[in-house]
Amino acid sequence: MKRAFPILAILTALLLVYAFYEALWVAPMERTMGDVQRIFYYHVPSAWTAFLLFFVNLVASVVYLIWRSAKADAVALVSAEVGVVFCTVVLVTGPIWARPVWGIWWTWDIRLTTTLVLWLIYVSYLVLRRFSDSSQTPKLAAVLAIFGALDVPLVYFSIWFFRTQHPQPVIGGGGSIDPRMLHVLLINWLAFSCFAFLVCWWRYQLELLQRDLEEAQALEALLGDEGLPATPARARSPLNKTPSRPGTV
Amino acid sequence: MSSLRSIAVATLTKDIRLEWRSRDAINSMLFFSLLVVVIFSFSFDPNAEESREIAGGLIWVAFLFAAVVALNQTWARELRNQVLDAYRVSPAPANALFVAKALGNFILVSLLEALMAPLFMIFYNLRALGPAWQLIPVAILGTWALVVNGTFFAAMSLRTRSREIMLPLLLFPISIPAVQSMVEATRIILAGDGSARFWIVLLLTYDVVFTTACLGLFETILQAE
């Protein structure tokens, strides 16, 4: 697995460069909006990737609550973190596009508001994980993830009642799209998903390593520096020479 | 089932008796929402027409903030003397405790609303143009929406650092659809501008969904130690 990482990283980088080239030079110019429409190739793939990651977070949280698997919890944490980043990209690129096209930065439209609320829920999820440092954090976070998932359809319906201004969804909606544009969009989505997967993977390994390290430090603090048996966790931890930290137990 | 009810009733009576003797929560909530009302009326200074449009938002924001004061105290009492630990090892059903706490908060916040609503009417010169009786289901469903999740998240934030600040951070994002429904329903009723039915149904859905979720997951939260 370790060896596959650089290969995948290079492939993703190439894919991202290709997708960038396609989005800026190959994709046809939009008739009414002009070049500003090209932000769409970043906005929509980021949104899809963010929603995918939030879905992964929900599934991992449910898996954690059922089987109490620490790996599922790490997946949930990682997907929420990366998902928030992609969701932020969506919320930033949206207004940049909307200002010249709609003439306003923001409107309380159904998709904008739902995305914003989703972002708020996942930020509160990350805040909870940050503020809670007991061994019960995964349980609390998983429960919150389920509450967040239950909330999203309600948010959607509550805003559905207002007039909607956002363009119809490109896939499965009323809008139509040039096949060349769709092609560029899908390439960009593929590139962004690969990139997200790569970051998640990296972050996941880091998270597992960090947990091993904390475990080792806790053990060290319990037993003292002398006469510590070489546990697997200690042997793996890169910082086992550091003095034990009080209060990590 | 009967043990669930008797334990819930016992806990509820104990909490109400404690609150009746100390009146800590209700007094601080009342004063807090009074401050919010006064500050809002200074900052907006609306005429009667504008009042009807914005009062729904002001009332519910005031109650939401005041409810957080009560919700934060829900479990603090049980932490002293390890009451919660005792509850955990006892065979009593966890949901009995949750229902009692949520009902206790519901009674407290409803009392606050009953006392504050006339004051709002006076300060903002409000008179409902729509069917005013509909404000009662909106208030009941809205209050329950706030306290059921609030009680749950208060229990969740017990395990976190600086839990007083944690509760609103968890509660507010999840409560957005409920708050929006309450505000819109109240605005429609006060301004007599169409039917508030959609929002009342949405509030009811919110209540059913989250009451079920809370009852289903409270055991997990209570046992988390």
B46 vs B146, which has greater pLDDT? B146
Contacts made by residues B204-209, CB under 8 angstroms, sequence distance 24+: B204/B141, B205/A154, B206/A154, B206/B145, B206/B177, B206/B178, B206/B181, B207/B141, B207/B144, B207/B145, B207/B148, B209/A150, B209/A154
* Chain B neighbors of A145, CB-CB under 8 A: none
Q: Which domain holds residue A181?
A: 4-208
pLDDT for A234 equals 47
pLDDT for A249 equals 37
CA distance, residue B22 to nearest chain A CA (Å): 31
Kindly state whether residue A92 falls inside one of the protein's structural domains.
yes
So where are chain B's domains? 2-223
d(CA A146, CA B125): 42
Contact B63, B112 (CB under 8 A): yes
- Closest partner residue to A133 among B161, B177, B209, by Cβ? B161
Q: Compute the C-alpha angle B214/B110/B145, nearest 5°.
A: 30
The burial of B146, by beta-carbon neighbours within 10 Å (0-12 exposed, 13-18 middle, 19 or more buried), is given as buried
Among B187, B185, B182, B181, CA closest to B196: B185
CA distance, residue A206 to nearest chain B CA (Å): 24
Most confident of the ranges A40-44, A92-96, B102-106: B102-106
Mean pLDDT of chain A: 81
d(CA B64, CA A129): 24
Kindly state whether residue A228 falls inside one of the protein's structural domains.
no
Among B16, B160, B120, B146, CA closest to B68: B146
- B191 — pLDDT class (breaks 50, 70, 90): confident
3 state SS of A134: coil
User: H or E element: which one contains B116?
Assistant: helix B94-123
Task: Compare all CA atoms of chain B with the CA of A133 and give the residue at the minimum distance.
Answer: B160
| Residue of B75, B141, B156 to mutate, testing the A interface (most A Cβ within 10 Å of its Cβ) | B156
Task: Compare all CA atoms of chain A with the CA of B166 and give the residue at the minimum distance.
Answer: A128
- Closest partner residue to B221 among A140, A157, A161, by Cβ? A140
Per-residue pLDDT at A134 exceeds 80: no
User: Where do the H-state alpha helices sit in chain A?
Assistant: 4-21, 40-67, 70-102, 110-131, 137-160, 179-223, 232-236
- Give the count of beta carbons closer than 10 Å to the beta carbon of residue A104: 10
- A170 — pLDDT class (breaks 50, 70, 90): low
Q: Cα B168 vs. chain centroid, distance in angstroms?
A: 12
* A148/B159 Cβ within 8 A: no
pLDDT for A237 equals 47
- A165 — pLDDT class (breaks 50, 70, 90): low
Per-residue pLDDT at A99 exceeds 60: yes
pLDDT for A166 equals 58
Q: Helices (H) and strands (E) in chain B — how many of each?
A: 9, 0
Among B140, B154, B148, CA closest to B104: B148
Task: Compare all CA atoms of chain A with the CA of B208 and give the residue at the minimum distance.
Answer: A150
Strand partners, A34: A30
- Give the count of beta carbons closer than 10 Å to the beta carbon of residue A78: 24
Contact B105, B74 (CB under 8 A): yes
d(CA A127, CA A34): 40
CA distance, residue A122 to nearest chain B CA (Å): 9
% residues pLDDT > 70 (chain B): 98
Most confident of the ranges A95-109, B38-52, B83-97: B83-97
* Chain B neighbors of A112, CB-CB under 8 A: none
3 state SS of B160: coil
- A4 — pLDDT class (breaks 50, 70, 90): confident
Task: Compare all CA atoms of chain A with the CA of B158 and give the residue at the minimum distance.
Answer: A132
* Chain B neighbors of A121, CB-CB under 8 A: 173-174
Kindly state whether residue A43 falls inside one of the protein's structural domains.
yes
Q: B66-118, pLDDT tens digit by residue?
A: 999 888 888 888 888 888 888 888 888 889 999 999 999 999 999 999 998 88
Mean pLDDT of B125-136: 83
pLDDT for B206 equals 94
End-to-end Cα, chain B, rounded Å: 26
Q: A189-220, pLDDT tens digit by residue?
A: 899 999 999 999 999 999 999 989 988 998 98
* B159/A147 Cβ within 8 A: no
* B217/A128 Cβ within 8 A: no
Residues of A with CB under 8 A from a CB of B: 65, 117, 120-121, 123-124, 127-128, 131-134, 136-137, 139-140, 143-144, 146-148, 150-151, 154-155, 157-159, 161
3 state SS of A34: strand
Structural domains counted in chain A:
1
Per-residue pLDDT at B25 exceeds 90: no
Kindly state whether residue A36 falls inside one of the protein's structural domains.
yes
ipTM: 0.85
Q: B141-179, pLDDT tens digit by residue?
A: 999 999 999 999 999 888 787 778 889 999 999 999 999
pTM to 2 decimal places: 0.83
d(CA B212, CA B208): 6
B41 vs B15, which has greater pLDDT? B15
